[in-house]
C-alpha cells in the first residue's frame, strides 16, 4: 500500500512540476516580449493576446517583471502597488498530495509562488529594496489571511530566502562600488548597513516562525503535557513502540489512513496486536479513543520527523528494545527541537554571513561570526548543560542529537566559509598554482576531523556539504549546471550611499505596515 501510494504521488508531482515549468516559461517569455516591444513593434499584437489570456494578478506581475527586465526601475516601482493589490486575496498555502490535496490547486499555488520567486530575486538587483521588503511581508500576510486548513504546506521560508539573499547580494555589490575608503571604514559601514537590513527582515521572519511547527514534539514542550505522554508510553509502549512495529512503511501507512481509523480496524480484527494493553483498555473503556489517537499520532509523527535520530537510537542504545522506554528518546528530541527553534530564528543571520564569505568580504564575515558567538554563547551553554544532564540521567549518548547541540549555533557559518573556499581552490588547481584557499580549507577540515560525529551510519553533515559544493562547482565549470534564476538575468544596479541608506530607513520605518494590503 505504502509503495503504491508513493508511486502515485510521485507521478502526480511530476505532472504538476511539468505544468508549472511550462506555464512559468510562458509568463517569462511574455515578460521578455513586453520589455522589447518598443524596439520591435511587430511583437505588440502577440503580447496583447498573451496578456489578455491571463488573470489580473498574473498580468500585473508580468508587467512588473517586464519593467525589471527592461531596466525601467521607476516604472516597476509604480506598478508595484497594483501588483500587490492583485495578490491580496490569493493564498500561497496548499494541502500536499500525501494529505489528500487537490493537484489543480497545488499547481496554481506553485505557479504563483514561482512568479514571486522571480520578482523577489530581481527587484533588489534593480534597486527596489523597499518594495522587496514589502513583498516578503506581503507573502507572509497572504498565508496568514488566507488559511486553507490543517496540514497546509508553507513555502514562505523559500520565498524569504530568495528575497533576503538578493537583498544582501545587492547591498554588498553597492558597497563594493562606492569610491575607495579606508578598509576598516568600509567594513564597518557594510556591517552597519547589513545589521539594519537584517533587523528589518527579522520582523517578518520571526512573525512567520511563531506560526510554524517545526516538530510535533513542540506540543509537549510544557511539563504537564510531557508527563502525560511519558505516562502513556510507560503504560502502553511495550510492545507497540519497538523496532519490530515502528517501521517507516508502517508509520506512513497508519498516518495516511488516520490513527483513529487504524485503531478501529484493529479493534474489529483478530490481529495479535489487539491483545496488548492499549487495545484492551480501549475495548474496556479505560482509555478514550481521543487520548489514544492524540498520543499515538504524536509518537508516530515524531519518529517520521526525526527518522535519522530514530535510527541512531535503535543502533546505539539497549533501551530501544523496550517500547515503554521510548520516552527517553523523545526527551532528547525535545531538547533538539528547542535548539532547532533558536537556530531557525537565526536563519537570516546565517544567510547574511554566507553572502559575505562568498563575496570575499572576509573581515566583515569574521566580525559577523564573532558578534553572533558573543550574543548566543550563553544560550548555547545552557543547551550543552541540558544535553549532559540527559546523557547522565538516561545513560544514553544519542550522537545525532549531541552533535547538533555541540554546534553551538555557529558551526553552520564555519561550513559556509569552507564551502566558499572550494571554487577559488578549484580555479587555482586548474591553473596549476599554489592555493591559499585550499590550504585554509585543509586546515578547517583537519580541525573538524579531530571530533568525529554521528554513529557511522551517515556521512558527517559538514563533509556532505563540501561534497555538494564540489559537485556544483564542477558542473558549473563543465557547463552542465544551469541556474534557473540566471536564465533571464539582469545586472545589479548599485545604489549610492544616500539612496541605499534612505531605502533601508524607509523599509525599517514601514515595518509590518503594508499600505497595499488593507481590506
Tell me which of 94-98, 400-404, 454-458 is least confident: 454-458
Would you give the distance in Å from CA 236 to the centre of its chain?
Answer: 36
Query: Does the pLDDT value for residue 328 go beyond 90?
Result: yes
User: For the chain, what percent of residues have pLDDT higher than 90?
Assistant: 65
d(CA 28, CA 65): 8
Q: What average pLDDT does the segment 82-103 reach?
A: 85
Query: How is residue 144 written as a grid cell?
Result: 496568514
Q: Where does the pLDDT of residue 512 fall: very low under 50, low under 70, confident under 90, or very high at 90 and above?
A: low
CA atoms within 13 A on the CB side of 228: 13
d(CA 157, CA 155): 5
Query: Does the pLDDT value for residue 456 go beyond 80?
Result: no
The pLDDT of residue 40 is 65
Query: Does the pLDDT value for residue 514 go beyond 60?
Result: no
Q: What average pLDDT does the segment 443-469 reach?
A: 84
Query: Does the pLDDT value for residue 45 go beyond 90?
Result: no
Q: What average pLDDT does the segment 135-164 reach?
A: 87
Q: Where does the pLDDT of residue 515 fall: very low under 50, low under 70, confident under 90, or very high at 90 and above?
A: very low
Least Cα distance to 493 among 122, 161, 162, 131 occurs for 122
Query: Does the pLDDT value for residue 260 go beyond 90?
Result: yes
Task: Report the chain's mean pLDDT, rounded to a whole number.
Answer: 89
d(CA 194, CA 177): 16
- Tell me how far apart the terminal alpha carbons of the chain are, to the nearest angstrom: 46
Domain boundaries, the chain: 1-212+502-511, 213-408, 410-480
Tell me which of 14-18, 298-302, 462-466, 483-487 is least confident: 483-487
The pLDDT of residue 488 is 62
Helix (H) or strand (E) holding 1: none
The pLDDT of residue 55 is 73
Instruction: Convert the pLDDT of each residue in 269-304 to its tens digit.
Output: 888 888 899 999 999 999 999 999 999 999 999 999
Other CB atoms closer than 10 Å to residue 416's CB: what's the count?
21
Instruction: Convert the pLDDT of each residue in 51-74 to its tens digit.
Output: 667 777 778 888 898 899 888 888
Q: Where does the pLDDT of residue 38 fall: very low under 50, low under 70, confident under 90, or very high at 90 and above?
A: low
Least Cα distance to 96 among 15, 19, 156, 150 occurs for 150
Q: What average pLDDT does the segment 152-165 reach?
A: 92
Instruction: Convert the pLDDT of each residue in 216-244 to its tens digit.
Output: 999 999 999 999 999 999 999 998 999 88
Least Cα distance to 140 among 85, 204, 213, 79 occurs for 204
d(CA 176, CA 170): 10
Q: What average pLDDT does the segment 70-90 reach?
A: 86
Q: Where does the pLDDT of residue 519 fall: very low under 50, low under 70, confident under 90, or very high at 90 and above?
A: very low
The pLDDT of residue 350 is 97
SS (H, E, C) 275-318: HCHHHHHHHHCCCCHHHHHHHHHHHHHHHHHCHHHHHHHHHHCC
The pLDDT of residue 455 is 63
DSSP type of residue 491:
-
Instruction: Convert the pLDDT of each residue in 360-375 to its tens digit.
Output: 999 999 999 999 999 9
Instruction: Convert the pLDDT of each residue in 173-189 to its tens digit.
Output: 999 998 876 666 889 99
The pLDDT of residue 8 is 92
Least Cα distance to 16 among 134, 84, 125, 106 occurs for 106
Q: Where does the pLDDT of residue 47 fall: very low under 50, low under 70, confident under 90, or very high at 90 and above?
A: low
- 295 or 147: which leads in pLDDT: 295
Query: Does the pLDDT value for residue 516 go beyond 60?
Result: no
Query: Does the pLDDT value for residue 136 go beyond 90?
Result: yes
d(CA 60, CA 89): 14
**How would you classify residue 398: left for phi > 0, otherwise alpha for psi between -120 and 50, otherwise beta?**
left
Query: Does the pLDDT value for residue 322 go beyond 80?
Result: yes
Q: Where does the pLDDT of residue 383 fall: very low under 50, low under 70, confident under 90, or very high at 90 and above?
A: very high
Q: Where does the pLDDT of residue 518 fall: very low under 50, low under 70, confident under 90, or very high at 90 and above?
A: very low
Amino acid at each position: 500500500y505504502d509503495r503504491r501510494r508513493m508511486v502515485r504521488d510521485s507521478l502526480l508531482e511530476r505532472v504538476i512540476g511539468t505544468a508549472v515549468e511550462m506555464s512559468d516559461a510562458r509568463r517569462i517569455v511574455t515578460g521578455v516580449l513586453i520589455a522589447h516591444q518598443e524596439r520591435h513593434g511587430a511583437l505588440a499584437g502577440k503580447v496583447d493576446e498573451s496578456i489578455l489570456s491571463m488573470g489580473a494578478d498574473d498580468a500585473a506581475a508580468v508587467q512588473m517583471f517586464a519593467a525589471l527586465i527592461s531596466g525601467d526601475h521607476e516604472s516597476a516601482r509604480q506598478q508595484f502597488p497594483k501588483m500587490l493589490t492583485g495578490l491580496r486575496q490569493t493564498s500561497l498555502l496548499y494541502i500536499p498530495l500525501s494529505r489528500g490535496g487537490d493537484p489543480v490547486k497545488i499547481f496554481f499555488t506553485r505557479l504563483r509562488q514561482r512568479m514571486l520567486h522571480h520578482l523577489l530575486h530581481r527587484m533588489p538587483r534593480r534597486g527596489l529594496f523597499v518594495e522587496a521588503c514589502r513583498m516578503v511581508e506581503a507573502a507572509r500576510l497572504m498565508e496568514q489571511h488566507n488559511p486553507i486548513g490543517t496540514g497546509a504546506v508553507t513555502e514562505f521560508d523559500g520565498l524569504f530566502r530568495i528575497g533576503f539573499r538578493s537583498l544582501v547580494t545587492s547591498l554588498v555589490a553597492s558597497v563594493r562600488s562606492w569610491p575607495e575608503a579606508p578598509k576598516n571604514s568600509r567594513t564597518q559601514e557594510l556591517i552597519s548597513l547589513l545589521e539594519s537590513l537584517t533587523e528589518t527582515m527579522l520582523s517578518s521572519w520571526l512573525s512567520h516562525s511563531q506560526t510554524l511547527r517545526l516538530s510535533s514534539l513542540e506540543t509537549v514542550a510544557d511539563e504537564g503535557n510531557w508527563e502525560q505522554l511519558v505516562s502513556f508510553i510507560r503504560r502502553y509502549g511495550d510492545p507497540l513502540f519497538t523496532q519490530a512495529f515502528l517501521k517507516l512503511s508502517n508509520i506512513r501507512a497508519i498516518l495516511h489512513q488516520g490513527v483513529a481509523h487504524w485503531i478501529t480496524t484493529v479493534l474489529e480484527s483478530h490481529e495479535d496486536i489487539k491483545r496488548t494493553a492499549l487495545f484492551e483498555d480501549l475495548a474496556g473503556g479505560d482509555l478514550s479513543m481521543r487520548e489514544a489517537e492524540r498520543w499515538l499520532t504524536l509518537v508516530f509523527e515524531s519518529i517520521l520527523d526525526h527518522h535519522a535520530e530514530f535510527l541512531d537510537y535503535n543502533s546505539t542504545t539497549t533501551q530501544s528494545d523496550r517500547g515503554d522506554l521510548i520516552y527517553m528518546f523523545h526527551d532528547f528530541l525535545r531538547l533538539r527541537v528547542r535548539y532547532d527553534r533558536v537556530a531557525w530564528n537565526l536563519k537570516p543571520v546565517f544567510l547574511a554571513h554566507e553572502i559575505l564569505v562568498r563575496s570575499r568580504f572576509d573581515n566583515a564575515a569574521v566580525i559577523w561570526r564573532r558578534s553572533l558567538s558573543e550574543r548566543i554563547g550563553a544560550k548555547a551553554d545552557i543547551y550543552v548543560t541540558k544535553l549532559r544532564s540527559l546523557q547522565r540521567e538516561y545513560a544514553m549518548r544519542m550522537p545525532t542529537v549531541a552533535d547538533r547541540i555541540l554546534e553551538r549555533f555557529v558551526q553552520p557559518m564555519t561550513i559556509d566559509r569552507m564551502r566558499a573556499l572550494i571554487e577559488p581552490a578549484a580555479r587555482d588547481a586548474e591553473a596549476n598554482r599554489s592555493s591559499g584557499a585550499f590550504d585554509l580549507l585543509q586546515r578547517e577540515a583537519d580541525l573538524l576531523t579531530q571530533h568525529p560525529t554521528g554513529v557511522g551510519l551517515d556521512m558527517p553533515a559538514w563533509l556532505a556539504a563540501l561534497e555538494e559544493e564540489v559537485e556544483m562547482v564542477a558542473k558549473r565549470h563543465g557547463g552542465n549546471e544551469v541556474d534557473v534564476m540566471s536564465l533571464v538575468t539582469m545586472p545589479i544596479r548599485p545604489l549610492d550611499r544616500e539612496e541605499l541608506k534612505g531605502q533601508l530607513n524607509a523599509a525599517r520605518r514601514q515595518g509590518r505596515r503594508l499600505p497595499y494590503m488593507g481590506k
